[in-house]
Amino acid sequence: MWGTWIVVASVAYLGLLFAIAYYGDRRADRGRSIISNGYVYALSLCVYATSWTYYGSVGRAASTGLGFLPIYLGPTVMVALWWLVLRKILRICKQNRITSLSDFVSSRYGNSTLLGGLVTVIAVVGIVPYISLQLKAISTTFNIMRSPEPTAAASAQDVPLLQDTALYVALLLAAFTILFGTRHLDAAERHEGMVAAIAFESVVKLVAFLAIGCYVTFVLFPGLDGLLDQAAARPDLARLFTFEAAGGYTTWLWLTILSMLAILLLPRQWQVTVVENVDERHVKKAMWLFPLYMLLINVFVLPIAVAGLLTFGDGGTDADAFLLALPLAAEQPALALLVFIGGLSAATGMVIVETIALATMVSNSLVMPILLRWGGALVRRQRLGGLILGIRRTTIVLVLLLGFVYFRLAGDALALVSIGLISFAAVAQFAPAILGGLFWKGATRRGAIAGLVAGFAVWFYTLPLPSLVHAGWLSPAFVADGPFGLGILAPYALFGLAGLDTVSHSMLWSMLVNIGLFVCLSLAARPDPAEHFQAAVFVDVLTRPREGADARLWRGTAAVGELQGLLGRFLGREGAREALTAYGARTGADISPGADAHANLVHHVETLLGGAVGSTSARFMVASVVDEEPLGVREVMEILDETSQVLAYSRALEHKSAELEAATAQLREANVRLQELDRLKDDFVSTITHELRTPLTSIRAFAEILLDNPDLDGQQRESYLRVVVEETERLTRLINAVLDLAKLESGGSQWRLETVDVRQLLETSSQATAQLFRDRQVTLELELGEAVPAVKADRDRVVQVVVNLLSNAVKFSNPITGRVRLGLQVEDGAVRVDVQDNGPGIAVADQGIIFEKFRQGGDTDSGRPAGTGLGLPISREIIVHLGGRLWVDSEPGRGATFSFTLPVADERSAAAMGAETEC
């Protein structure tokens, strides 16, 4: 009955996953993605936590204390470097439609088929044990759950083949993966439904682990403190508290480095991190959520391990199974079931993503290139899309069955963690080729191939091969004394290097030969043109313009129709037509079947195909329909050098020309101003000359008369002399005014700022001009109203302005009927003074002119000007200097109102004016 429940729960859980994946795919088809946010992205990355994390960490903690931790600390270090590394990889993959790890490596080194195949083989060989580990976990835990004697571990080999749960689990997972991983051929290789399911699984395993952690620590035991007190009392457990149990610092460091590489290079991590990434910005969120998840899922590992050791002692129960054994022993079947489902989600998530990633690699980098070269009839078929999907589905089933076979054969020989570390060390071999190729343009294909082959060989010899001894396939002497008794070749102590744990030892030697060969061979020869070009594309991806330059490398001829036909074989006729139409609409290129395809279009088709069959095969297929002229080293070098030089030059030129433009604009402006000033100066000089000549002429004329006629009668003489004196006075006034204005304009005049009562100032001014008003018989009305706030101003200057305005008003008013009103009011924080007359008024056209020097409104032609023509310009200068405004309102025939304002004195404006005065 209990067994049935477990099966029902497991199947129900997998059914739920199907439902989520199905919903995710449906939403994606409708363009409303449910995975397009940073949280789902971060959760999907947590596929890193497999059943190894889930069950294996506790197992490792039970024997090594903190020793399980570097596997999770490493990724935390690596995510900090994602900003440097992952952004680059994402950009490259999006631009070049790279959909797998192998495709990335092959593409980086000039579309090398050999390299792509090599990476695929290493990945499959390295990962199959890891997949088998997951099957083992599911199978073992299922047996523990089902077994009537819960603490007795059931051995995998005891179960007949057809009753082995692992077989059915493998088949069920294959079905799931095929359904959601290879539904259709997508150019971007993204599987939204699958990602949604994986994110959900991440939540389930975290919740389950935290639940059992809390239960064990706080219910089974009296809290963390109490639990650890009990452990501290036992010397064999107390050693877990210190570093001693975790092994050496070297091992710790190697494990950290190993997991740093694994988080990027494991095919499943590459799949969720790079291929399934929807938006580069999601990386930011994942950079702290992902390590946070790792932290949370590891918090209870040590307490559970200690609790397991306290409960079960040393005998019987495998520490890897503590997680289940504890709730079962406490007779909490529901909790045990939750833990089991959590473990199931950890294992299934890993298996699904890993097999999809491997299937893409196998079909794109291994099978397709072989078929294209030697496949003959198979490849000439019209529809290749179905063939590729078929290859992938077969691969998925094969990989899972391989995992199952490995599980049946290797069985219980190794703990969960050991198998996982072997896989980590395998994928770490990709690091020099990928990370090196990402930052070093000089890396070559030969270096990468040699490094990979040698690193892989050393890995195989030092890790999986000796582990076969545990399975009984090799004699223990092979490990102890080396092959044929050659101790120097002993796989766990190569060249006599003993004292390291097996993983550190293997990593040390394999990385040494891998990096050594990679660097030395790369330095030994220059990269060939294709490599050189790809190197630049990869290394400079963040600084290069997004599209374009690539197509320049291609030079050949192809008809659009041929390309469409080629595309149609993968994407279907409709798909191909749509893709080309979309391209035509976007770029405006001619996409009629007969037209010659532009190099950019050929490149576009190649990237589209690249998504489906991998870049190497895509290149091969495109080459089959176009007449391509090979490109020599020199041409590539020229294009590259040219491009970079031209870019540099053009940037420098742009900069210079921008500077020049700015300078030109300034010059032009200055020139205009100078011309204006020159014109003004000419005007000024001619006007002033004219103004000076008028009184001079009359003085001279009268003086000559007096000189020529010494016998003029006294009265006549006196009147002539009076004219001379008046004209001289006028001349003096004029010269004074000109000097005054020049001083004002040059800023050289002295200002005495003081607090001025405007009301009193106006009274003074009106008294000063009273005689003028009386002479002309013009009435002056004072409307000074209430007291107004004081202003900060130069008293004499303001009086000068008011007197000037009043005398102007008198001048232009008719005797007897003339009325001038002097008004004072407060307006918007300023004091406003109005001088209103009922004279002839000023034409609108003249209202601007009267403020110009020597320009007078009204009757300029009617003989002698009535003033110097400088009064208003000077007044305006004064008022503007004091922070106010002077203007006129007038309509011809209705008089004119001259008004000015002065800002009311407050602390600030007073200070500002003070500062202005000083400078």
Partner 1 sequence: MSERSRTPRLTAAAALALLLFNYPFLAVFDVDVRVLGIPLLWAYLFTAWALVVALLAWLVRDI
The contact set with partner 1 (CB under 8 A) reads 66, 69-70, 73, 76-84, 224-225, 228-229, 232, 238, 241-244, 249, 252-253, 256, 284-285, 287-288, 291-292, 295, 299, 302
- Shortest Cβ 655–partner 1 spacing (Å): 19
Measured over all CA atoms, what is the biggest interatomic distance in the chain, rounded to whole angstroms?
A: 158
Whole-angstrom distance, CA of residue 209 vs CA of residue 41: 21
- 3-state secondary structure (DSSP) of residue 263: helix
Min dist. Cβ of residue 267 to partner 1 (A): 23
Check: CB of residue 131 under 8 Å from CB of residue 170: no
Select 52 or 68, whichever has its Cβ closest to partner 1.
Answer: 68
State in angstroms the smallest separation of the CB of 59 from partner 1: 18
Using DSSP bridges, classify how beta strands 819-827 and 779-783 pair: parallel, antiparallel or unpaired.
parallel
Query: How many other C-beta atoms can be found within 10 angstroms of the C-beta atom of residue 751?
Result: 19
- Closer of 305 and 402 to partner 1 (Cβ): 305
Nearest-angstrom CA–CA distance, 729 and 835: 27
Cα–Cα distance list, 862 to 107, 108, 733, 865, 866 (Å): 94, 93, 21, 8, 10
H or E stretch covering 10: helix 2-29
DSSP track, 453-516: HHHHHHHHHHTHHHHHHHTTSS-HHHHHH-GGG-GGG-TTSGGG--SS-HHHHHHHHHHHHHHH
For the four alpha carbons of 105, 109, 112 and 114, in that order, the dihedral sign comes to negative
List of residues 6+ apart from 375 with CB closer than 8 A: none
How many Cβ atoms sit within 10 Å of the Cβ of residue 107? 27
Strands 896-903 and 830-837: antiparallel
SS3 content of the chain, % helix, strand, coil (to 5): 75, 5, 20
- Partners of 533 in the beta sheet? none
Give the DSSP letter of residue 904: B
Specify whether the CB–CB gap between 292 and 299 falls below 8 A: no
Task: Select 196 or 305, whichever has its Cβ closest to partner 1.
Answer: 305
Do residues 42 and 279 make contact, with C-beta atoms less than 8 angstroms apart? no
- Please state, in angstroms and rounded to a whole number, the distance separating the CA atoms of residues 509 and 658: 57
Q: Closest distance between partner 1 and the C-beta of residue 29, in Å?
A: 31
Q: Helix axis angle, 416-427 relative to 502-524, nearest 10°?
A: 10
Closer Cβ to partner 1, 501 or 846, answer by number: 501
Measure the CA dihedral 692/694/697/701, to 10°.
-140
**Closer residue to partner 1, CB minimum distance, 281 or 774:** 281
Complex with partner 1: residue 252 or 270, whichever CB lies closer: 252
Q: If you compute the radius of gyration of the chain from its CA atoms, what whole number of angstroms results? A: 47
SS3 349: helix
Q: Write down the residue that tokens 């050949």 correspond to.
A: 556
- Tokens coding 233: 């009392």
Dist CA 913 CA 750 (whole Å): 13
Positive or negative torsion for Cα 146, 148, 149, 152: negative
- Min dist. Cβ of residue 291 to partner 1 (A): 5
E strand or H helix at 754: strand 754-756
The amino acid occupying position 276 is E
Show contacts of 543-549: CB within 8 Å, 24+ apart. 546/95, 547/95, 548/600, 549/643
Rank residues 72 and 406 by Cβ distance to partner 1 and give the closer one: 72
Query: Hey, is 379 helix, strand or coil?
Result: helix
CA proximity to 820, closest of 764, 779, 855, 871: 779
State the DSSP string of 645-671: HHHHHHHHHHHHHHHHHHHHHHHHHHH
Contacts of 899 (CB under 8 A, 6+ apart): 832, 833, 834, 835, 886, 887, 888, 889
Of residues 241 and 461, the one with the C-beta less far from partner 1:
241
Q: In 3-state terms, what secondary structure has residue 26?
A: helix
The two tokens of residue 722 are 């009076």
- 92 with 104: CB under 8 angstroms? yes
Q: Which amino acid is at 826?
A: V
| Partners of 822 in beta bridges | 782, 835
User: In the bound complex, what is the minimum distance in angstroms from residue 70's beta carbon to partner 1?
Assistant: 7
